[in-house]
């Protein structure tokens, strides 16, 4: 309890220091704005407080992202309504000439919030005043490439797309408000401390339709699950090789990658957890590592299978080190890869693209399994399996012909059959019509951006 209070105290101290600096910056901007021509100093030259590394969440954040002064101004501006809202009351100053607020200050008056809510325009006013060149220079802070946006830290919330982008309200994500103040992140529904969900399937192993090559490789995984322990412990391979089994599933969407992972779990009586990579990577400093460690620890004790979807986020990031921030993201990727390597259970990474996988990365996998678009024979099976036993196919439907003609995945077949079946039900029938099936096919092709022939 005591420890917690100390932590909050440090946060408060640092935020107070930062706000004092911010107030000086604001004062200076206003002075310059209302007394042009007077000798002034550049607001960016007003030195911000220096915090000891890692001493508060706020300090840690600044250090981690190597925030520049303009970025720091934007950040503290976005936090001000949450901690010292009255500091922004100066922006309510009226423009006597027009008897209204100053356009250049931006900002809005909240619906319930009594104070001033800064917008992108407010930030620009502080950073650049009337200087157009500077405005352009700093616009990157609100760009989609900036980590504020990419990591869902801070965004401009616009309710009207026809208005200038900077008129969007500067919104610091709720998690970060908590993080900088109480130092704790509230757990959202799909727990941040455990950003993984079980994969469950009602289908059975016998429903899985794979070509021979793919099926054989999937069998190898089953063999490992069954005999891996003998290999490692009794045969003593644990001294010679890495523990665990790492596997990459690659292939187009809807070819059964997720389904296969789920079925492997069902067949071997193990939980399969799907980890949301987009949520794990770079979401919270320090927290990322902790969360990942937690997932792996929990899973390892229980023999869970870990499934990482859209794994390209991993190998994509590793290759391009374009700026300092990517470097930090890379550190997390390396950490994750290390965890994947150390894990002594089954890890499956899934992706739609294999092309940008580098060699060093490929070496870490015990198997790389391709899930191709199914061939006609498999497609026929998929069509047959997809149709409900309650339904009857109209006489003029020739599934064999359809399977031959249309190169579609199992996922698409499911969608088409669902579409045609619903049409039948809504007509109060149990007969699936050829016309509806054809329409379903056309729709599916359109969805994939393919032309229909």
Ligand X SMILES: Nc1ncnc2c1ncn2[C@@H]1O[C@H](COP(=O)(O)OP(=O)(O)OP(=O)(O)O)[C@@H](O)[C@H]1O
With CB under 6 A as the contact rule, the residue among 369, 410, 416, 440 that binds ligand X is: 410
DSSP state letters, 394-436 = -TT--HHHHHHH----HHHHHHHHHHHHHHHHHTT--EEPHHH
Alpha carbons 356 and 343: distance in angstroms, whole number = 24
DSSP class of 119: B
Chain centroid to CA 57: how far?
A: 22
Query: Which tokens is 394 given?
Result: 């109209």
Pattern of binders to ligand X over 286-325, x per CB under 6 A?
Answer: ----------------------------------------
Interface with Mg ion, residue 351, by CB under 5 A: no
Kindly state whether residue 409 participates in binding Mg ion, applying the rule CB under 5 A.
no
119 binds, among ligand X, Mg ion, none (CB under 5 to 8 A by kind): none
* β-strand partners of 275: 196, 308
Stretch that binds ligand X, among 34-42, 185-193, 201-209, 429-437 (CB under 6 A): 201-209
Residues in contact with ligand X, total (CB under 6 A)?
18
- Report if residue 291 touches Mg ion, rule: CB under 5 A: no
Length of the chain: 453
- Residue 210 binding ligand X, by CB under 6 A: yes
Q: Write out the two tokens for 162.
A: 């026809």
CA distances in angstroms from 184 to 56, 58, 176, listed in the order given: 12, 12, 9
Nearer to Mg ion, 141 or 350 (CB): 350
Closest approach of Cβ 258 to Mg ion, in Å?
A: 3
State the pairing for strand pair 154-157/116-117: unpaired
Pairing of strands 154-157, 169-172: antiparallel
Residue nearest to Mg ion (CB): 258
Answer yes or no: are the C-beta atoms of 241 and 180 closer than 8 Å.
no
Q: How far is the CB of 413 from ligand X (least distance, A)?
A: 7
Nearer to ligand X, 212 or 396 (CB): 212
User: For residues 283 and 320, what is the distance between their CA atoms, to the nearest angstrom?
Assistant: 19
- The verdict on 258 binding ligand X (CB under 6 A) reads yes
Closest CA to 124 of 116, 114, 136: 136
Q: Which stretch binds ligand X (CB under 6 A): 23-31, 239-247, 321-329, 405-413?
A: 405-413
Q: Which of 56, 78, 119, 258 binds Mg ion (CB under 5 A)?
A: 258
**Using rule CB under 6 A, residue 208 touches ligand X:** yes
Contact between 257 and ligand X by CB under 6 A: the answer reads: yes
Contact string 344-363 vs ligand X (x = CB under 6 A): --------x-----------
Which residue shows structure tokens 């290999």?
A: 231
Q: Rounded to the nearest whole angstrom, what is the least distance from the CB of residue 258 to ligand X in the complex?
A: 3
Q: Is 70 in the site for ligand X (CB under 6 A)?
A: no
Residue ranges that bind ligand X, judged by CB under 6 A: 207-210, 253-259, 352, 371, 382, 409-411, 414
């Amino acid at each position: 309890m005591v420890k917690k209070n100390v932590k909050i105290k440090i946060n408060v101290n640092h935020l107070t220091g930062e706000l004092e600096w911010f107030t000086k910056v604001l004062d200076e901007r206003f002075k310059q704005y209302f007394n042009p021509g007077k000798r002034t100093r550049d607001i960016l030259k007003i030195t911000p407080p220096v915090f000891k590394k890692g001493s508060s969440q706020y300090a840690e954040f600044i250090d981690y992202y190597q925030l520049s002064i303009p970025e720091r101004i934007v950040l503290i501006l976005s936090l001000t309504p949450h901690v010292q809202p009255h500091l922004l009351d100066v922006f309510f100053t009226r423009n006597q000439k027009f008897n209204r607020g100053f356009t250049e200050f931006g900002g809005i008056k909240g619906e319930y919030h009594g104070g001033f809510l800064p917008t992108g325009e407010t930030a620009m006013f502080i950073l650049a005043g009337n200087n157009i060149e500077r405005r352009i220079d700093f616009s990157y802070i609100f760009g989609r490439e900036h980590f504020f946006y990419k990591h869902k830290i801070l965004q401009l919330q616009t309710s009207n797309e026809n208005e200038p982008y900077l008129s969007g309200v500067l919104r610091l994500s709720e998690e970060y408000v908590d993080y900088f103040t109480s130092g704790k992140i509230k757990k959202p529904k799909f727990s941040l401390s455990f950003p993984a969900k079980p994969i469950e399937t009602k289908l059975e192993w016998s429903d899985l339709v794979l070509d021979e090559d793919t099926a054989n490789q999937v069998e190898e995984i089953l063999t490992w699950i069954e005999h891996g322990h003998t290999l490692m412990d009794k045969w003593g391979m644990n001294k010679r090789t890495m523990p665990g089994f790492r596997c990459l599933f690659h292939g187009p969407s809807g070819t059964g990658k997720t389904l296969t992972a789920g079925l492997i779990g069902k067949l071997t009586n193990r939980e399969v957890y799907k980890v949301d990579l987009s949520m794990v990577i770079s979401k919270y400093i320090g927290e990322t590592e902790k969360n990942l460690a937690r997932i792996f620890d929990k899973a390892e004790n229980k023999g869970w299978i870990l499934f990482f979807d859209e794994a390209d986020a991993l190998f994509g990031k590793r290759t391009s080190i374009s700026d300092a921030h990517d470097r930090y993201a890379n550190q997390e990727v390396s950490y994750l890869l290390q965890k994947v390597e150390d894990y002594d259970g089954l890890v499956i990474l899934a992706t739609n693209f294999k092309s940008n996988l580098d060699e060093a990365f490929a070496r870490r996998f015990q198997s790389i399994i391709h899930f191709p678009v199914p061939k006609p024979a498999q497609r026929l099976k998929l069509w047959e399996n997809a149709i409900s036993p309650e339904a009857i196919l109209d006489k003029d439907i020739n599934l064999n012909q359809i399977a031959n003609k249309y190169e579609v995945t199992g996922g698409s077949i499911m969608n088409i059959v669902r579409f045609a079946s619903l049409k039948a039900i809504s007509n109060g029938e149990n007969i699936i019509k050829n016309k509806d099936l054809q329409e379903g096919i056309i729709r599916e092709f359109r969805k994939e951006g393919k032309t229909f022939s």
